[in-house]
Structure 1
Amino acid sequence: MIKNGQYLIQLFKTNVQNCHVLVIGDVMLDKYYFGEMKRISPEAPVPIVNKKDEMTTLGGAANVANNLVQLGCKVSLVGAVGNDQGGNEFFDLLKLQGIDSSGIIIDDRCTTIKTRVMSGNQQVLRIDHEVKMNISDLAIKHLESWLVQKLKKDHITSIIISDYEKGFCRKEICQKVITLANQLEIPIIIDPKGNKWDKYQNATVVTPNMTELSNILGAEIPNTNEVMYRYGPLLRKKYALDYLLVTRSGKGMSLIGEDEITHIFTLAKEVFDVSGAGDTVVSTLAAFLGIGARMDDAVNISNLAAGIVVGKVGTYAVQDDELLMQLEFLSENKNKLSSKVFFNEEYKQVISNWRREGKKIIFTNGCFDILHIGHATYLKKAKQLGDKLVIGLNSDHSVKRLKGPSRPIVNENDRAKMLTFFEFVDAVIIFNEDTPLNLISEIRPDILVKGGDYKAKEVVGREFASKTEIISFVDGYSTSDIIDKISN
């Protein structure tokens, strides 16, 4: 649960249009080649990926900027690219996203490009095109002048330094920015790299992951709460930080402040790709600190955003409505069973979001009283027909009318929550009618799925679906048989 959920939603909606974040750091392009890996090359013992599609996105500090744009913030980006094709692509993407590029320097270097080869959801190879080199003293002077003028002219609400150790985030730049930010009382967030944290001295918050924490401590350390208590306060004090926020992968985050250490559990349901998750944390943190949220609230929302991102493939920027929807679900005022379970008309926004993303929606329905292998097999086959599997679940009253006064054995809340434990189930909607006709007419699924010996023309709601599919049940499994065996 996230405390103050409704307040934070209102704070965001009211103030995000006034949020202007300055992002400074190592910018790059992320390229993705998507394909299938089905055989080994006859030339060498290496896999062959048959490329089907490709994608180019903003990476590094530019991905942080893109995350902020998707949250609704105004963004100015500072970094360096080369005078090459990659640089041209980079400026085109900035323009497309509406990111202020006046702080981008064309330097004597190549534009950093990370190319990832993907087979399904699995990354099989990464190719880096880069040269690690410090920007020139002349470029630093130019940037310092630009920064002073920018901070005078524009109302900057927060600043991020996104350091990928490619040579842009020199100590002179970092300390100049931190000093200016502190003078103007602007929160400054650091995504660190390397073991030279002197350049981050006096920042509002530094956000290392466990690898980065090990680097600054000079030894590999275990991912335990004990480590946070032992080293966190020492590092925070040594570098005069207001906060240290350690991102701990599957164990969530730990926020180390002056008087308290808080552990925040991860909210990720399924991890496909961790690319860009750290960028999501710092961008969400900067957005909410910039609109006046407390540090602990901003950290909790950043954790929520990171949980969304790692469930996607590739560098992904969380949308503002997507984040607010999840925040609404997890708000302590909602009393939700699960973020996948919907009552009444809550599901409409979710369906609308999926439609906008071009997802193929599958719908099926049932009582699912006492789950068994037949149910699981049927639902998994249904999910394979598209992208998002939606289950219409008969309420307790509906089941009684259909099955008799002794049913259901398991109440609707428990039945719904158990269905959400299947990773291939994306939404469960509880309905009270005898049939899901009204629900299907609202959702209008791409594929309507029914099990058993039905014929497609007999399926309720088929006129509201683009296609109807019949999936056979697994022989020998039924809830009624299980109940009979227990009774006898």
Structure 2
Amino acid sequence: MSDMKCASFVAENIQNLRIAVIGDVMLDRYCYGEVKRISPEAPVPVNRVKKTESLPGGAANVASNLANLGCHVYIGGVTGDDDNRKILEDLLSKEKIDFSGLIKSRQRFTITKMRILGERQQMLRLDFEEVCDLYPEEADAIKQWLLDLIEKGLDGIAVSDYAKGVCSDVFCQWLIRMAEAHKIPILIDPKGPHWEKYEGCTFITPNLKEMCDAAGQAVPNEDGPVLQIAQMARDRYRIKNVVVTRGEKGMTLVGGKRTVIHCPASALEVYDASGAGNTAAAILLAAAAGELPLLEAVYMANRAAGIVVGKAGAYPIHRDELLLDLLEEERKLGYGFRPLSWKEIAELAQIWRRSGEKIVFTSGCFDILHAGHVSYLEKAAKLGKHLIVGLNSDDSVRRLKGEAWPLIPELDRARVLASLACVDAVVIFHEDTPTRLIKMIRPDILLQSADFRSNLVAGREYAGKVETIESEDGYSMTGLVDRIANLIKKGKL
């Protein structure tokens, strides 16, 4: 895991992906209230409703997850011509999801799930649905819509099957053949034990119960038995990758060339598991569309699922949440001590600014890091919530100090700086000054040593204000180098 590129992918590439989602589209409605008494009319609790909320459900929830990650999302399916369709359209519009493939039918009504919650506990679910296969003209319309998207360029296809009629055997096989013909990864979120209709797909993402149903046998939630039935299903249905979501045990992927990945769950506390499968499926498909290695795809999907189970309801994960989580986990695991790209730091700075968190920026060569540097950075960190260090590249240092410098290469200097607890991010810049970098970050506080006057500080016009910190006496990199040179000259080193 020492070369994970998940955070870079989320910051730099995921927003370029074009993904189609096809399947059983629903509207999820929530009534939140409190229960204080029993009804006098019948022995049932009375829920005093305090808030109602609507969210995209089913295939629309997968689309919502992808849209919140920054992807360009197109959704296809069928709904009724009713008020719930209008609510769903409004929700999709707000998330900039193209619903031109969502067929409107007067012969149906929009599938709606209404959940009644008392405090934090779900008390009842009301399902408004009618299971009906696609009519030929509906299937033809969705097919033509997808073919038009493929012609314009499509990076991935997600099929969300809730056994409500859209994902028939014939329709699923047509989708898989089209994806295969155009070399587009296609992910299936399955329903039911009959997986013949999913034969040949790139990914399939059953939970453990669905995996057992498809295998025709129940197995304990342990690595060995899960691996065995997943491998059987992969071979039987020519599926490239089977990814089993296993609740508190995390995920297991079985792929080609004997690829097996077990990824333990990351959630510390589970509040609501609804929607976690959709989130995992969305991340897996985005990662596959972005050509990330399988290990990183599963790791990222697992992290994302761990975030959403801590929320009430089938809320999608947001790109900001995932990026922050991935960067934080990088540092915890020790392979995050690296310089961030300019795109990564731009995204990170935007997230911090939106949260009202004060950003401090300082820069320098930091060639041989000593206690004076550390003291300076620790003081800098106390001026705000986040400290970003701009680091002169090797070429930049040479132009400033001469061809003999730097003594330590830029990536090594960046790694040492990033490992300090007081430093939140390190970014390398190649110019003589960090003005362009500061313009992009727009820190609240631009920090410089007390040796400089504030009106000479590069980039000061793009910062909230300029602060100075007194350098500690007795520490000088130049003095340290001179001392080492003298010792060598005297033959003592």
On whether the aligned pair clears a TM of 0.5, the verdict is yes
Match of 1:179 in 2: 177
Match of 2:115 in 1: 116
Amino acid at match of 1:297: E
Match of 1:15 in 2: 13
TM-score by length of 2: 0.67
Match of 2:216 in 1: 218
1:126 aligns with 2:125: yes
The separation in 1 between residues aligned to 2:179 and 2:330, in whole angstroms, is: 32
Match of 1:452 in 2: none
Contact 2:11–2:323 (8 Å) recurs in 1: no
Match of 2:327 in 1: 328
Deviation string 1:119-138 (CA, Å, 9 cap, x unpaired) is 22211111111011111122
1:355, CA displacement in angstroms?
Answer: 6.3
Contact 2:77–2:142 (8 Å) recurs in 1: no
Contact 1:12–1:291 (8 Å) recurs in 2: no
Q: Are the structure 2 counterparts of residues 307 and 355 from structure 1 closer, same or farther at C-alpha, using a change threshold of 3 Å? A: farther
Amino acid at match of 2:75: L
Q: Are the structure 2 counterparts of residues 85 and 350 from structure 1 closer, same or farther at C-alpha, using a change threshold of 3 Å? A: closer
Contact 2:249–2:265 (8 Å) recurs in 1: yes
Contact 1:3–1:332 (8 Å) recurs in 2: no
Amino acid at match of 1:268: A
The separation in 2 between residues aligned to 1:10 and 1:256, in whole angstroms, is: 25
1:163, CA displacement in angstroms?
Answer: 0.5
Match of 1:270 in 2: 269
CA RMSD of aligned residues (A): 2.5
1:304, CA displacement in angstroms?
Answer: 0.3
Match of 1:25 in 2: 23
Q: Are the structure 2 counterparts of residues 175 and 209 from structure 1 closer, same or farther at C-alpha, using a change threshold of 3 Å? A: same
The separation in 1 between residues aligned to 2:268 and 2:211, in whole angstroms, is: 25
Aligned length: 350
Contact 1:4–1:331 (8 Å) recurs in 2: no
Contact 1:22–1:156 (8 Å) recurs in 2: yes
1:165 aligns with 2:149: no
What's the secondary structure of 2:13's corresponding residue?
A: helix
The separation in 1 between residues aligned to 2:128 and 2:354, in whole angstroms, is: 35
1:336, CA displacement in angstroms?
Answer: 9.3
The separation in 1 between residues aligned to 2:266 and 2:299, in whole angstroms, is: 10
Match of 1:364 in 2: none
Q: Are the structure 2 counterparts of residues 320 and 137 from structure 1 closer, same or farther at C-alpha, using a change threshold of 3 Å? A: same
1:354, CA displacement in angstroms?
Answer: 5.8
What's the secondary structure of 1:331's corresponding residue?
A: helix
Match of 1:4 in 2: 3
1:303 aligns with 2:310: no
Q: Are the structure 2 counterparts of residues 316 and 191 from structure 1 closer, same or farther at C-alpha, using a change threshold of 3 Å? A: same
The separation in 2 between residues aligned to 1:263 and 1:32, in whole angstroms, is: 34
1:224, CA displacement in angstroms?
Answer: 1.5
1:334, CA displacement in angstroms?
Answer: 5.6
Amino acid at match of 1:13: A
Match of 2:65 in 1: 67
Match of 1:52 in 2: 50
The separation in 2 between residues aligned to 1:252 and 1:305, in whole angstroms, is: 11
Amino acid at match of 1:310: V
Contact 1:4–1:332 (8 Å) recurs in 2: no
Deviation string 1:293-314 (CA, Å, 9 cap, x unpaired) is 1122111100000000000011
Match of 1:455 in 2: none
Amino acid at match of 2:193: N
What's the secondary structure of 1:117's corresponding residue?
A: strand
1:69, CA displacement in angstroms?
Answer: 0.8
Q: Are the structure 2 counterparts of residues 250 and 283 from structure 1 closer, same or farther at C-alpha, using a change threshold of 3 Å? A: same
Amino acid at match of 1:218: G
Q: Are the structure 2 counterparts of residues 228 and 20 from structure 1 closer, same or farther at C-alpha, using a change threshold of 3 Å? A: same
Q: Are the structure 2 counterparts of residues 350 and 71 from structure 1 closer, same or farther at C-alpha, using a change threshold of 3 Å? A: closer
Contact 1:12–1:288 (8 Å) recurs in 2: no
Q: Are the structure 2 counterparts of residues 151 and 34 from structure 1 closer, same or farther at C-alpha, using a change threshold of 3 Å? A: same
Amino acid at match of 1:93: L
The separation in 1 between residues aligned to 2:3 and 2:334, in whole angstroms, is: 13
Match of 1:255 in 2: 253
Deviation string 1:70-105 (CA, Å, 9 cap, x unpaired) is 100000001110011111211222222111111111
Amino acid at match of 1:69: A
1:57, CA displacement in angstroms?
Answer: 0.8
Match of 1:293 in 2: 292
Unmatched 5+ stretches in structure 1: 338-346, 357-391, 393-429, 432-441, 443-488
The separation in 1 between residues aligned to 2:169 and 2:219, in whole angstroms, is: 26
1:348, CA displacement in angstroms?
Answer: 9.1
Match of 1:314 in 2: 313
1:328, CA displacement in angstroms?
Answer: 0.6
The separation in 1 between residues aligned to 2:356 and 2:53, in whole angstroms, is: 21
Deviation string 1:417-468 (CA, Å, 9 cap, x unpaired) is xxxxxxxxxxxxx99xxxxxxxxxx9xxxxxxxxxxxxxxxxxxxxxxxxxx
Match of 1:91 in 2: 89
The separation in 2 between residues aligned to 1:112 and 1:355, in whole angstroms, is: 40
The separation in 1 between residues aligned to 2:192 and 2:2, in whole angstroms, is: 34
Match of 2:279 in 1: 280
1:16, CA displacement in angstroms?
Answer: 2.0
Amino acid at match of 1:133: C
Q: Are the structure 2 counterparts of residues 354 and 212 from structure 1 closer, same or farther at C-alpha, using a change threshold of 3 Å? A: farther
Amino acid at match of 1:123: Q
Match of 1:140 in 2: 139
The separation in 2 between residues aligned to 1:352 and 1:229, in whole angstroms, is: 44
Deviation string 1:270-322 (CA, Å, 9 cap, x unpaired) is 11101111110111111122222112211110000000000001111111111
Name which of structure 1's ranges 62-71 and 288-297 shifts more when overlaid on structure 2: 288-297
The separation in 1 between residues aligned to 2:12 and 2:356, in whole angstroms, is: 26
Amino acid at match of 1:124: M
Contact 1:134–1:170 (8 Å) recurs in 2: yes
Contact 1:33–1:54 (8 Å) recurs in 2: yes
1:146, CA displacement in angstroms?
Answer: 2.2
The separation in 2 between residues aligned to 1:68 and 1:36, in whole angstroms, is: 33
Contact 1:32–1:54 (8 Å) recurs in 2: yes
What's the secondary structure of 1:131's corresponding residue?
A: coil
The separation in 2 between residues aligned to 1:178 and 1:104, in whole angstroms, is: 19
1:209, CA displacement in angstroms?
Answer: 0.1
1:185, CA displacement in angstroms?
Answer: 1.3
Contact 1:267–1:307 (8 Å) recurs in 2: yes
